[in-house]
């Protein structure tokens, strides 16, 4: 296997004063999303924003959150709310980690580094994906003060996959995330409509689309087209990132089973998280196998359309593991109130992906920082308004009604 561990310094583009001002003026994640839609070509925005097929699961993640209502208590001293918590046994400034999201460099050159640095400044972990546009080694070098987790898919080329995991260990990543919900890729119809396929081919439709965003085009040309740096050598004769990405997409391993996961557990000496868990029995088996946590996730609605909403699956998973290991959840988290609802249903923390893509696409690291600022500011406000002095005191009593969704036979 051939890869470059000593990559040359990159030219990280800095946001302009106008871009910074636009990010500061965004008072919600939805406002950052709207700015991103006006900043990116439609094909890139839809690739980040979209889901599989009819997008019913994408919508369902938000609907599940919105169904829950908070039941506040008052006359409680909330003058100094504490958002601090423990994530995988180490302090975090809030119960949030940045989820692994691929191809960030198409939104902002070396956006993986920008988000990692923002996460470090905010005191939360950052999960680097296999399909990042900055390598394992580059992110470790450029964001040395950030708690780094590495997310790996299971590819048919097992030696290559284990090579990535070994690189993450050598670079000091504290946790490994194994994503189990991709035996094949989901059908993302927005991408098909936008002629945004892999391997990528220029068509009149997408050329016109890109041409409508000259600022994005200039930024990309100055930095150079993004490369999937972790995947160098995966396809020896590949000439561009698109060809590599297409090959990776065709090489997810549908034969990956529990025994294979056990071998990874034996080989990885640090914290291990299993991502893509929806069924309680899978969570129970992960705990028995020795995982250090599970992430309740339907891949942001990008895989199986019609799958249960992540928040609806959360109570059943939390009950199945019975407090033996922490449970995290992702999918549709956009507000501080969403974090409180997730914790009230049994989560130890949330992961956020698309909000960081929106932020970094608008203003690089400054936009990513804005997204994390909004989550923390809204979380503090929610603690005060619900009468909870500390994040660690959140429980089901802050909810008006805990719906018994997603509870499979135990």
What does the pLDDT read at residue 409?
39
Looking at the domain assignment, is residue 406 inside a domain?
no
For residue 158 the two structure tokens come to 């097992």
Assess if residue 238 is contained within a domain. no
pLDDT confidence of residue 288: 97
The pLDDT value given to residue 3: 45
Q: What is the mean pLDDT of residues 10-14?
A: 80
Range of the domain at 137: 24-233+244-398
CA distance 123 to 372: 10
Residue 267 lies in a domain: yes
Beta strands in 159-231 (DSSP E): 175-179
Flag whether 222 is in a domain.
yes
What confidence score (pLDDT) does residue 281 get? 98
Which of 351, 281, 340 has the alpha carbon at shortest distance from 316? 281
Is 66 annotated as ligand-binding? Answer: no
Supply the CATH number for residue 340's domain.
3.20.20.70
271 belongs to an annotated ligand binding site: no
For residue 65, being part of any structural domain is answered with yes
According to the annotation, is 167 in a ligand binding site?
no
Going by pLDDT thresholds of 50, 70 and 90, the confidence category of residue 24 is very high
**324 is known to lie in a ligand binding site:** no
Strands in 155-296 per DSSP E: 175-179, 271-277, 293-296
Q: Is 89 annotated as a binding residue?
A: no
> Are the beta carbons of 68 and 341 closer than 8 angstroms?
yes
Crossing angle, helix 336-344 and helix 354-386, to 10 degrees?
70
User: Is 405 within a domain?
Assistant: no
pTM of the shown model: 0.93
For 48, residues 6+ apart whose C-beta sits below 8 A from its C-beta are: 36, 40, 101, 107, 354, 357, 358, 361
32 domain residue, yes or no? yes
Q: Residue 249: pLDDT above 70?
A: no
Backbone angles phi, psi at 332, to 5 degrees: 85, 5
pLDDT band at 405 (very low <50, low <70, confident <90, very high): very low
Task: Tell me how many domains the chain contains.
Answer: 1
Give the active site residues. 299
Q: In angstroms, rounded to a whole number, what is the distance separating the alpha carbons of residues 131 and 121? A: 24
**325-329 contacts at long range (C-beta below 8 A, 24 or more positions apart):** 325/286, 325/287, 325/291, 325/292, 325/293, 325/294, 326/87, 326/88, 326/292, 326/293, 327/283, 327/293, 327/294, 327/295, 327/296, 328/97, 328/273, 328/293, 328/294, 328/295, 328/296, 329/295, 329/296, 329/297
Question: Would the annotation count 354 as a binding residue?
Answer: yes
360 labeled part of a ligand binding site: no
Give tens-digit pLDDT for 107-124.
999 999 999 999 999 999
The pLDDT tens digits for 185-219 are 899 999 889 988 766 678 888 889 999 999 999 99
Predicted confidence at residue 245, as pLDDT, reads 57
Query: Considering the domain boundaries, does residue 18 fall inside one?
Result: no
DSSP 202-213: --HHHHHHHHT-
């Amino acid at each position: 296997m051939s890869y470059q561990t000593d990559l040359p310094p990159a030219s990280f583009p800095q946001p302009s004063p106008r871009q910074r001002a636009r990010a500061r003026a965004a008072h919600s994640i939805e406002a950052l999303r709207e700015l991103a839609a006006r900043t990116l070509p439609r094909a890139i925005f839809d690739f980040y924003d979209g889901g599989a097929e009819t997008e019913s699961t994408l919508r369902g993640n938000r609907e599940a959150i919105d169904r829950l209502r908070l039941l506040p208590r008052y006359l409680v001293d909330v003058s100094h709310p504490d958002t601090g918590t423990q994530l995988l046994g180490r302090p975090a400034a809030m119960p949030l980690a940045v989820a692994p999201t691929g191809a960030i460099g198409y939104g902002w050159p070396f956006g993986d580094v920008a988000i990692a640095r923002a996460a470090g400044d905010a005191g939360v972990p950052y999960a680097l994906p296999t399909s990042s546009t900055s390598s394992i080694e580059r992110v470790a070098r450029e964001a040395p003060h950030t708690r780094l987790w590495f997310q790996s898919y299971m590819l048919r080329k097992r030696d290559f996959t284990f090579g990535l995991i070994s690189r993450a260990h050598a670079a000091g990543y504290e946790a490994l995330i194994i994503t189990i919900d991709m035996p094949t890729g989901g059908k993302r119809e927005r991408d098909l409509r936008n002629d945004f396929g892999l391997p990528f081919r220029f068509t009149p439709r997408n050329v016109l689309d890109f041409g409508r965003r000259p600022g994005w085009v200039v930024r990309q040309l100055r930095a150079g087209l993004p490369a999937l740096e972790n995947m160098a050598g995966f396809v020896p004769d590949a000439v561009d990132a698109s060809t590599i990405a297409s090959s990776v997409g065709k090489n997810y391993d549908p034969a990956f089973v529990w025994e294979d996961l056990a071998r990874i557990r034996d080989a990885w000496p640090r914290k291990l998280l299993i991502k893509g868990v929806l069924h309680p029995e899978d969570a129970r088996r992960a705990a028995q196998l020795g995982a250090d946590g599970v992430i309740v996730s339907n891949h942001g609605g990008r895989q199986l359309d019609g799958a249960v909403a992540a928040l609806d699956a959360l109570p059943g998973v939390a009950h199945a593991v019975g407090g033996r290991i922490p449970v995290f959840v992702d999918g549709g988290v956009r507000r501080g109130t969403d974090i409180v609802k997730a914790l009230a249903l049994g989560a130890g923390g949330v992961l956020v992906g698309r909000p960081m893509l929106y932020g970094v696409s608008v203003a690089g690291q400054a936009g990513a920082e804005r997204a994390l600022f909004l989550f923390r500011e809204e979380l503090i406000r929610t603690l005060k308004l619900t009468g909870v002095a500390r994040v660690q005191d959140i429980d089901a009593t802050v909810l008006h009604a805990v719906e018994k969704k997603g509870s499979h036979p135990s």
